[in-house]
Amino acid sequence: MYKRNEVVYATNTEARYFLFVLTGKVKIFRLSELGNEQIIRMIAPMEFTGELALFEGIRKAHAVAMVKSEIYLIENQQFKQLLVDYPQLSLKMIEALSQRLHASEEQSMLLSTCTAKDRLFNFICKEAELVNGHQIFYHEETKRFLAGFLGMSSETLSRSLHQLADEGKIKERHNHQIEVFC
């Protein structure tokens, strides 16, 4: 069991385990030479991390529990054997990695071709849920976290939210909710 903000693993440490998140949420990120955080992805319940380390042996990123999280660790060699013994597991893993690759390519395209405001609006529309006939985006994380995930500063995020509200594309509600008009 990992507490909120507890380090799950750090960059340049030996990677002996493949990890499955059972409950909670884990942030995978890298730090630039200037100490700026680049969020790679969030790992939700029933998702995994540590696939790169299966073959490289050294962690290339940091992982921190965002909330209290239960994580199942399986030794790398044991997990590799499971992949050999259970081809369906291998196929499921390839499917999950393909989805991650697609999401990464999409994020890269958005970072290079869209303004910060457009990136934010695209993300909010994609993540919004239909609730009582309204598209609602829930942002449990801080605005600083969301800004880091979208590759912008907190100030740019706040400015973009105000611009989107002024344009009538979003309406900020209470309890970390934004109504979206996609």
Cα–Cα distance, 73 to 102 (Å, whole number): 26
Copy the structure tokens of residue 166: 């002024």
Domains for the chain: give ranges and CATH numbers.
Answer: 7-113 (2.60.120.10), 116-180 (1.10.10.10)
What is the reported pTM? Answer: 0.72
Show Cβ contacts of residue 159 under 8 Å, excluding neighbours closer than 6 positions: 117
Give the tens place of pLDDT for each residue, 18-38.
999 999 999 999 988 888 788
When pLDDT is cut at 50, 70 and 90, the band that residue 53 belongs to is confident
Q: Which of 47-51, 80-84, 116-120, 149-153 has the lowest mean pLDDT?
A: 149-153
Residue located via tokens 């939700």: 44
Quickly list H helices, the chain. 53-56, 76-85, 87-113, 116-127, 143-149, 154-166
Give the tens place of pLDDT for each residue, 57-83.
899 999 999 999 999 999 999 999 999
Closest CA to 135 of 144, 143, 127: 127
